Amino acid sequence: MKNTPNVPPRLVAALVLLPCLGLFLLMPPVVQLFALEVDVGGVPLIVVYLFGVWLGLIVCAAWLARRLLRSG
Amino acid sequence: MLSANFVLVASLVYVAILFAVAFAGDRRARNGRLGWLQSPVVYTLSISVYCTSWTFYGAVGSAARNSLEFATIYIGPTLVFVGWWLFLRKLVHIGRTQGITSIADMISSRYGKSARIAALVTLIAVIGTTPYIALQLKAVTTSYQVISNLGPDALSGVPRSHPDFRTGFWIAAGMAVFTILFGTRNIDAQERHHGVVAAIALEAVVKLVALMAVGLMVVFAVAGSPAEIFARAAPQLLHSQDVFGPRWITLTLLSGAAVVCLPREFHVTVVENTSERNLQTASWLFPLYVFLISLFVLPIAIAGLSYLPAGSNPDMFVLTMPMWAGQDTIALLAFLGGFSSATSMVIVACIALSTMVSNHLIMPVALKFKWVSLGAGGEIRHFLLTSRRISICFILLLGFLYFRLSGESDALAAIGLISFAGVVQVLPSLIAGLCWRHANASGAFAGLLAGGLLWAYTLFLPSFGGAFLLSADDIEHGLFGWALLRPQELFGLSGIDPLVHSLFWSLSANSILLVLVSLCREPRPLERLQSTLFVDAFRTPAEATSGLIRRSAATYDISVLAHRMLGTEEAQRLLQEAGREGGDGSSGPVANDAFISLLERRLAGSVGAASAHAMISQVITGETISLDELIKIADETQRIREYSRRLEQKSQQLEATAGQLSAANDRLTRLDAEKDEFLSQVSHEVRTPLTSIRSFSEILVATRDLQSAEADRFLRIIHEESMRLTRLLDSSLDLSLLEHGELPWELRRLDPELALENAIRTCEGLAVNTRVQLIAGERAQEVLVQADADRLSQVFINLISNAIKYNRSASPYVRVSSRLQGGSYEVLVEDNGPGIRADERELIFSKFRRGWAHTQTTEAGAGLGLAISWQIMHRLGGSLILMPDAGTGACFRVALDGWQDAATA
């Protein structure tokens, strides 16, 4: 990419794609697939899904930030 | 239950702590010991000013009404921060390099430091934010009344008396004092407020802890477990797919845009940013913060709906749940959390807005009407500070008035999203400004104006329910009674949510006008310069363009301006710095281009680019921007890319060439060595017979009385040696001819078996003499190949005779066979002799290589036989190879392609 001589291209791709993946998973119609009357340990599936994806995004972003920090 | 006085004292103590933290932070910063003030965690916590009391109390209310919809307000920012690489990174980078002071400054700087754009953005921001400030005042006032009101109806979350405006007023006044004290201490070049940021960070921790404490209490102390909480939820609350409709998408995108465009968010994210590294941490830490904030919203909402009396205000569940449970400490904590979220929002919003109002509304007017003099005696710094303080009071007063006028209606409840929709009108200009080179000031102004007006008409004014500007009748039937102009069904677009409707019209008109008007007009030079600086922010350093603007000014005027604005010491330093940069070597102060640019940048850091440019313009005479240079810089990027691509290509080519050269060099070296060796070999081979010829002829010459028999023997030896010499030279000549391929050969179709038979017959005598058994292997039948019979025989004879001559086995044999293998005719000559040593295998076909040298044979040979055979086969279009070592002896294979069946030929 234009200003990132030290950042590996694969890392840049991951940084760009992560929000796209998040948007895909959290927008209809994908999110609608989980709005079912199913419980996971007493908690509705949709709540588990929503917060699960959310937390997943945070973990991925933290991991990428760490990689980026290490690549200088 | 808590008494009103106790709550009041607790709040005052808390406020005192905030003052102390802000004071300590400010002092540390002033002493240059920034330390933790610059840490990524403090930066992230200050960004969480996004979570206001609208989040703290309102998210639960929203969840109680629309279940999961509340999550969109936090998912949008999560996506924006997780995807920081795409947009925020560039925004923060530009903010830092250009010394941006606010969102209005950002937009106006990008569009040629346009003052009218800055004013318009400021206006939109003030109109959009004032109701939001009112909402915070209302939240604090209401929560104070709820927590300190005794009696059963306190639990309903609705104050017994009407909103206590007196409390509201004192809260507003307190916030004004705090903001003025810590937000307008001085005019900083970077517009950073470390004390405020420290206090905001503390408040962020308090609100998170408070909300989580209430959540944990509800889930584990009241209900027992998460499952039990969700078991109490009404089924329609969670199992509806309706939530995930157009409104879900709109709200997610809207909140994602708002987290960038809200003046306070822009302020903490971009203006207060001290290091771009901090953004890297915030990219996951801020999403984690809003995740934790959101985690217990749904459980609290469900608990409030199922435990509290019917008709309770869901917006106060966070406060009334702990009160209902009798947990006074948690209730007080919740109150302080709500107080924190409200105050932090109001303080940061006031700082951001007051900067904008004083820089972009008051300053241009003051400059125009000469309220402030830029010359000697003008007190610009003082004027600026005063105007900011007045702006803060004005904004808070406006917020309070809004609260006072609408406080008793429910109009405030929806104001959060309406405010979001207002501020995101700057988004098209912001995105286009950062990514599209051709976006210009006219386009941005037209887009902003249309978007702002449409937002006000379709969403903001109708929210008053007919109390302000638009009457209820206008809202119902359209302006002037025209149905097409119904604010919430504009141009007949009906059946969609009012928020989605308004965003659709305002953002569409905004973007379309921005693009169309931009395309209609050529940008002015300054716009072009700024657009290059912003769009190519990562590639064009700010210094590269400073030389493009040529301005001249009276040294006296410009240095007076510098002294007035920056103080004597700073101005002197700047002058010297510019003198060095200008490179004219003189140590005395000069008003050159470099100095003017430096001064303008320094001024822009406090009054914004537009006002700074206006100030500079007042003292300079004539301003020209070298367009050619500018275009060169814009093209530079393209050129550098192209150049680096070509360089890469060239280096690859060079690498390949170097490889070829090195290979060629190796070959040449080898050939050279071979030639030397060949020469020395030839000399050696020639020398041996010549020596004996010479010595015998010397004997013959010297000894006259030699016996006839003796002389005869000597003469025979001389003859034999001459013959050997001739043979050697013939072979050598033969090989040379073969190598250079001078004589054309006549290839005929012939039976190679005949040539082989002929060769075997020739060698039979030799075999009998040396007692080597010549075994006839299986043979190919009826084959025709294109070849030269004599040459082919020569090859066969050479191979067979070599195999016989050098065979030192106890029971020696040589086996000759032929076969048709694939498309070629092959002859194999095997023996059980000593074989070829591994280190000789490669060179066996070179000149003067006797593969059997190690056998110490006395048999004389020129050492050219195999080389000649190899050349012959090569010229016949066939091959001669040494088969891989099979353990005993050696096996040579002669192969010729393109045989034909003799029967069919």
Direct distance between the N- and C-terminal alpha carbons of chain B, in angstroms, rounded to an integer: 118
3 state SS of B819? strand
Substitution target in A4, A40, A45, A47 with the highest count of B β-carbons within 10 Å is A47
Write the CA distances from B646 to B603, B642, B651, integer angstroms: 42, 6, 8
List the single residue in A with minimal CA-CA distance to B93. Answer: A3
- Separation between Cα atoms, residue B584 and residue B95, nearest integer Å: 31
pLDDT band per the 50, 70, 90 thresholds, residue B630: low
Give the model's confidence band at B809: pLDDT under 50 very low, under 70 low, under 90 confident, else very high. confident
ipTM over 0.90: yes
**Are B324 and B307 within 8 A, CB to CB?**
yes
The minimum CA-CA distance between A30 and chain B, rounded to whole Å, is: 10
User: B241 and chain A: CB distance < 8 Å anywhere?
Assistant: yes
pLDDT in tens, B869-893: 888 888 888 888 888 877 778 888 8
Q: Which residues of A touch B285 (CB under 8 A)?
A: 62
Is B280 in the A-facing interface, judged by CB distances under 8 Å? yes
Which residues from A are below 8 Å from B227, CB to CB?
39, 41-43
Taking CA–CA distances from B538, the nearest residue in chain A reads A3
Residues 6+ apart with CB under 8 A from B675: none
Nearest to A69 by CA among B275, B454, B863, B471: B275
Chain B residue with minimal CA distance to A37?
Answer: B239
**Three-class secondary structure of residue B812 per DSSP:** coil
- What amino acid occupies position B247? R
> Residue-wise over B323-346: b if at least 16 C-beta within 10 A, else e?
bbbebeebbbbbbbbbbbbbbbbb
Q: Mean pLDDT for chain B?
A: 82
Give the pTM.
0.70
What does the domain layout of chain B look like in residue ranges? 4-407, 409-540, 547-625, 641-740, 748-901
Query: What is the distance in angstroms between the Cα of A60 and the nearest Cα belonging to chain B?
Result: 8
Q: Between these two residues, B428 and B604, which has the higher pLDDT value? A: B428
User: Hey, where are the domains in chain A?
Assistant: 9-30+40-70
Residue-level pLDDT at B544 = 61
> A47: burial class by Cβ within 10 Å (0-12, 13-18, 19+)?
buried
Residues of chain B contacting residue A39, judged by C-beta atoms under 8 Å apart? 227, 230
CA distances from B443 to B428, B447, B457, B507 (A): 10, 6, 21, 14
Nearest-by-Cβ selection for A28 from B225, B226, B248: B248
Interval B257-272: pLDDT, tens: 999 999 999 999 998 8
Q: How confident is the model at residue B580 (pLDDT cuts 50, 70, 90)?
A: low
Q: Which of B41, B68, B82 to mutate: most A Cβ within 10 Å?
A: B82
| Model pLDDT for residues B557-569, shown as the tens digit of each residue | 777 777 777 767 7
Q: Whole-angstrom Cα distance, residue B786 to residue B789?
A: 9
Task: Supply the Cα-derived Rg of chain A in whole angstroms.
Answer: 16
Is there a contact between B539 and A51 if contact means CB atoms under 8 Å apart?
no
Contacts of A61 in chain B (CB under 8 A): 81-82, 283-284, 287
B288 touches chain A (CB under 8 A): yes
Q: Is the pLDDT of residue B154 over 90?
A: no
Distance CA B813, CA B806 (A): 11
pLDDT number for residue B751: 86
Per DSSP, B67 falls in state G
Using alpha carbons, select from B871, B886, B765 the residue that is nearest to residue B836. Answer: B886
Structure-model confidence comparison of residues B113 and B290, the more confident one: B290
- For residue A56, give how far its alpha carbon lies from the nearest alpha carbon of chain B (Å): 10
Q: Is B126 exposed, middle or buried (0-12, 13-18, 19+ CB in 10 A)?
A: buried
* Residue with more model confidence, B183 or B133: B133
pLDDT per position as a tens digit, B479-491? 777 777 777 777 8
> Which carries the bigger pLDDT value, residue B44 or residue B682?
B44
Q: How close is the nearest chain B Cα to the Cα of A70, in Å?
A: 12
- Residue A30 with chain B: CB contacts under 8 Å: none
To test the contact with chain B by mutation, choose from A20, A53, A57, A66 the residue with the greatest count of B C-beta atoms within 10 A, namely: A57
Q: What is the pLDDT averaged over residues B105-131?
A: 91
Cα separation, B80 vs B890, whole angstroms: 75
Among B281, B204, B276, residue whose Cα is nearest residue B46 = B204
* B442-460: pLDDT as tens digits: 999 999 999 999 999 888 8
Query: What Å distances lie between residue B685 and B262, B733, B858, B866, B901, CA to CA?
Result: 97, 14, 14, 16, 45
Asked if B82 lies within 8 A of A54 by C-beta distance, the reply is: no
Please report the pLDDT score of residue B119 as a whole number: 93
Of A31, A42, A46, the CB nearest to B238: A46
Query: Quick one: closest CA in B to A26, which residue?
Result: B75
pLDDT of B207 reads 93
CATH number at B748-901: 3.30.565.10
CB pairs under 8 A between A and B: 107
pLDDT band at B78 (very low <50, low <70, confident <90, very high): very high
Interface test with A, best of B225, B236, B248, B284 (most A CBs within 10 A): B284
Smallest CA–CA separation between A53 and chain B, in Å? 10
User: What local confidence, expressed as pLDDT, does residue A64 receive?
Assistant: 92
pLDDT of residue B689: 80
pLDDT value of residue B854:
47
Least-confidence region, from B207-221, B649-663, B757-771:
B757-771
Q: Phi, psi (5° rounding) for residue A37?
A: -85, 60
* Bridge partners (DSSP) listed for residue A43: A40
Say if residue A37's pLDDT is above 90: no
Res B776: pLDDT: 83
The pair of three-digit structure tokens given for residue B306, joined into one six-digit string: 């199922």
Distances in Å between the Cα of B723 and the Cα atoms of B690, B732, B801 are 11, 14, 19
First to last CA, chain A: 15
pLDDT of residue B861 exceeding 60, the answer is no
pLDDT at B657: 93
CA distance B256 to B92: 16
Nearest in space to B639 (alpha carbons), one of B727, B494, B539, B784: B539
Q: What percent of chain B has pLDDT over 90?
A: 23
On whether the CB atoms of residues B429 and B447 are closer than 8 A, the answer is yes
Q: Would the CB atoms of B249 and A27 count as touching at under 8 Å?
A: yes
Q: What are phi and psi of B584, to 5 degrees?
A: -85, 0
Give the tokens for residue B55: 């989040």
Residues of A with CB under 8 A from a CB of B: 2-3, 12, 15-16, 18-20, 22-23, 26-28, 31-32, 35-37, 39, 41-44, 46-47, 50-51, 54-55, 57-62, 65, 68-69
What pLDDT score does A38 carry? 80
Taking 70 as the threshold, does the pLDDT of residue B645 lie above it?
yes
Residue B257 confidence (pLDDT): 93
Whether the ω angle into residue B525 lies within 30 degrees of 0, i.e. cis, is no
pLDDT reported for residue A51: 94
Q: For residue A51, which residues of chain B lie inside 8 Å, CB to CB?
A: 291, 294-295
Helix (H, G, I), strand (E, B) or coil at B726: helix
B641-740 topology per CATH: Helix Hairpins (1.10.287)
What residue in A sits closest to B279 (Cα-Cα)? A65
Interface probe, candidates B41, B85, B249, chain A, greatest A C-beta count within 10 A: B85
User: What is B4-407's CATH topology?
Assistant: Sodium/glucose cotransporter (1.20.1730)
Which band of pLDDT confidence, cut at 50, 70 and 90, is reported for residue B30?
Answer: confident
B476 reaches A (C-beta below 8 A): no
**Mutate which of A33, A46, A55 to test chain B, going by most B C-beta atoms within 10 A?**
A46
Amino acid, res. B597:
S
Residue B660 banded pLDDT, cuts 50, 70, 90: very high
For chain B, percent of residues with pLDDT exceeding 70: 87
pLDDT at residue A30 greater than cutoff 80: yes
CA distance A62 to chain B (A): 5
In angstroms, the separation between the Cα of residue B539 and the nearest Cα of chain A is 7
Q: What is the pLDDT of residue B588?
A: 47
What DSSP character marks residue B65? H
B80 touching A (Cβ < 8 Å) = yes
Q: How confident is the model at residue B145 (pLDDT cuts 50, 70, 90)?
A: confident
Write down the pLDDT at residue A1. 36
Residue B864's pLDDT band (cuts 50, 70, 90)? confident
